[in-house]
Amino acid sequence: MNWPDQEKSDEVPPFLDNLNPPQMQAVLHTDGPVMIIAGAGSGKTRVLTFRIANIVHKGVDPFNILALTFTNKAAKEMRNRIEKLVGGNARNLWMGTFHSVFARILRQEAERIGYPSNFTIYDSDDSKSLIKTILKEMNIDDKMYKPNLVLGRISMAKNNLITAKDYFQNEELINQDKASNRGKFADIYLAYTTRCFKAGAMDFDDILVNTHMIFKHHVDILNKWQHKFKYILVDEYQDTNHVQYMITKKLAAVTQNICVVGDDAQSIYAFRGANIQNILNFERDYPDVSTYKLEQNYRSTQIIVNAASSVIKNNKKQLEKKVWTANEEGDKIKVTRNASENDEGKRVAEYIFQDKQNEHLPNKAFAILYRTNAQSRAMEEALRRQGIDYRIYGGTSFYQRKEVKDLLSYLRFVINPNDEEALKRIINYPARGIGDTSLNRLIYLSGQQNMGLWEVIKNIRSFPEIGNGGPKIENFGMMIQSFIGLTDTTNAFDLATHVAKQTGLMRTLFEDKSVEGISRYENITELLNGIQEFVEDDESEKDKTLANFLEEVALYTDDQKDKDPDRDCISLMTIHASKGLEFPIVHLIGMEENLFPSQMALMNRQELEEERRLFYVAVTRAERKLYLSFATSRFKYGSLIPCEPSRFIDEIDSKYLDMSLASMKSKAVYQRNSDEEQFVSANKPTSNKSIFTTPKVAAPLPPEDPNFVAGDISQLKVGDMVQHQRFGRGVVAEIEGEGQNQKAKVNFDNIGTKVLVLKFAKMRIL
């Protein structure tokens, strides 16, 4: 359907007929500052699309409309929708991400600040390479000044409009650097910006910073673009940072025809520099603003919508709104208690299998959401055992992550020193001065002498032609030999931990405090947790050797190769990655204090409120069913530690929850308050909204507990009461098999029934 550009039309176009009243008002009010508060599932993209189409319908030239999004996908989707509404003229819209739009402007204006119009745009790898070069030239230790960490701090400064010269004058930042023993950061920042400028290159942050600089210092250029963009629309305004805020504010200063769309309750990117104050203070910036609230949720059931609202109301800083839905009431949110993360994975996989069968649903109807990437391991293994296909959305499968493969390569090489692919991966990681030249000489000697690489390394003193790298290669070989010497006397977990520490892998990752660095460190510790669980698994008949663990991993990773990315599979992802998506059934795992909310987010109210908004986003991804699960214990650094259920479960109004599987026993739940813990009957009414707390029971015993002594269970019989090192007290219900294959079914007080292989079971008869 097309409308002529040259004639302004006041009639309401027919394509708006299906909008609800608040949506219609937000679309029709085209002039002046407008803020659209769009609750989860309320049709935000639809309103933004129709609003732009309506502006075009009223006769505004699409060349004079600027629409800013946060992803190219969102921009493409909206442009296609608008084109269907108003025709091919929509292709003339200035629509795209902040970076794509302002890079386009800079191509026309960059010469005014000394850049060529054909400037290069550095991606993160280019920037990292330049930082490494600068560190080397300045003789600065790249272990203390890790390139990722340096780039992250430079990005933080730029997004807050702090130039390299300004940085030198900022006493607070300089003192922070000195306190962290990185007093040379300002010099690195200055060198980096100087080199970029000389190379005629901008990084992604420069695109925004330089646009702001041109607008600030060249009024004629600013005036030109202010008058060009008669209407400005910004999607996901709650995710804008300081420099994005400043640019849009400058551009809108003349016409004031700015429309921002967003939801403060879904502001979850503070770690990237997003500033929630931009949307909270919009009415202060534009006193004449007209605000429209899209409060009808079209996505989720009433139970899910109301549960999310009951949690987010605990945030102090927010824009008032009341999200509701006309959808069916739906099932209560099922909360499940699990003994460990492995048990959590098994239960989630079982629920998914049951829902698939009972409701005839495809795999793509399900999503498993988690706070940290490391949590995917237990879920992946449980789904694989259940035969359910999955994919990691927006990420990499656990055992394919670089840091995990690095440690696994060390372990592979320790078990099999003839594994030359593993050797090539680890010989100079972490960096130990064995570069490509030394490695190529080793490979040459190996071929010349008809010896394996490991044999050459063990006899490196016999090959003086190896040059200056000889002593470093010898030290590497001695380290590996010390690991090999432990394989017969050390269990898989202790050996893997020793390797991770002695190689410097753990230290290297621990010292990287960037968001990515923290995630990589968590993945390594989770790999060690997985090895510890493998060692402690009484239900497996396999010997608990490192070789057997590596065999399981190899078979598992091979099973994931060459799969069609568009196949029908379950989506596993972090909550951050799930924003903007929706699924009929969602499992939100790891609902524990210090995990979600994260331990790093409990320092102040601002961080805690961001975690609560993240929980709100997770809950509102679900359309029909939502499951919340927590574990009462998790392996951390080789020990099984007790865990406490997340406060966010406690903040959901109890009438929206099914707690029947969250209690220690089927007919009980637990109640928490600030003073004490009480046992409460599941059927007993209570005036206290809080519905459970960590039960007053002994946490599962850690493997190293010196007070636990396993006993002789060779005479075990049905009816015996036993104490298990990990599962606690139970009663033997059934015994089957003979000799090495004998198993016992035990009903444990705390976690239900387990089938144990007796030759591995760590328990005693009471």
Q: Is 751:664 a contact under the CB 8 Å cutoff?
A: no
Question: Is 489 considered catalytic here?
Answer: no
Residue 273 vs residues 161, 276, 583: alpha-carbon distances, Å: 12, 10, 28
What distance in Å separates the CA atoms of residue 607 and residue 626, rounded to the nearest whole number?
25
Residue 691 vs residues 201, 629, 696: alpha-carbon distances, Å: 57, 15, 15
What distance in Å separates the CA atoms of residue 160 and residue 163, rounded to the nearest whole number?
9
Question: Is 44 considered catalytic here?
Answer: yes
Active-site residue, selected from the candidate residues 226, 248, 266, 318:
266
Burial grade of 421 (CB within 10 A; 0-12, 13-18, 19 or more): exposed
Going along 597-751, which residue ranges are E strands?
622-631, 633-636, 639-642, 657-661, 668-672, 677-681, 721-724, 728-736, 743-748
Going along 184-247, which residue ranges are E strands?
201-203, 231-234
Structure tokens belonging to residue 282: 């919009």
Q: What is the DSSP letter of 13?
A: P
Question: Is 621 considered catalytic here?
Answer: yes
User: Number of C-alpha atoms within 13 angstroms, CB side, residue 612?
Assistant: 27
Planar angle of CA 89, 92, 96, nearest 5 degrees: 130
Question: Is 235 considered catalytic here?
Answer: yes
- Read out DSSP for 325-380? --S---PPEEEEEESSHHHHHHHHHHHHHHHHHHHT--GGGEEEEESSGGGHHHHH
Question: Is 77 considered catalytic here?
Answer: no
Structure tokens belonging to residue 719: 């009816």
Active-site residue, selected from the candidate residues 5, 23, 44, 425:
44
Structure tokens belonging to residue 330: 């739906």
Planar angle of CA 494, 499, 503, nearest 5 degrees: 155
Pairing state between β 639-642 and 633-636? antiparallel
What distance in Å separates the CA atoms of residue 600 and residue 181, rounded to the nearest whole number?
22
Q: Is 497:483 a contact under the CB 8 Å cutoff?
A: no
Active-site residue, selected from the candidate residues 5, 205, 235, 355:
235
φ/ψ of 100, rounded to 5, equals -70, -40
Structure tokens belonging to residue 179: 């306190």
Note the Cα 599 to chain centre separation in Å: 15
Pairing state between β 570-574 and 622-631? unpaired
Q: Is 150:180 a contact under the CB 8 Å cutoff?
A: no
Active-site residue, selected from the candidate residues 25, 30, 31, 45:
45
Q: Is 341:537 a contact under the CB 8 Å cutoff?
A: no
447 Cβ partners below 8 Å, 6+ apart?
none
Q: Is 641:633 a contact under the CB 8 Å cutoff?
A: yes
The catalytic residue positions are 44-45, 235-236, 266, 621
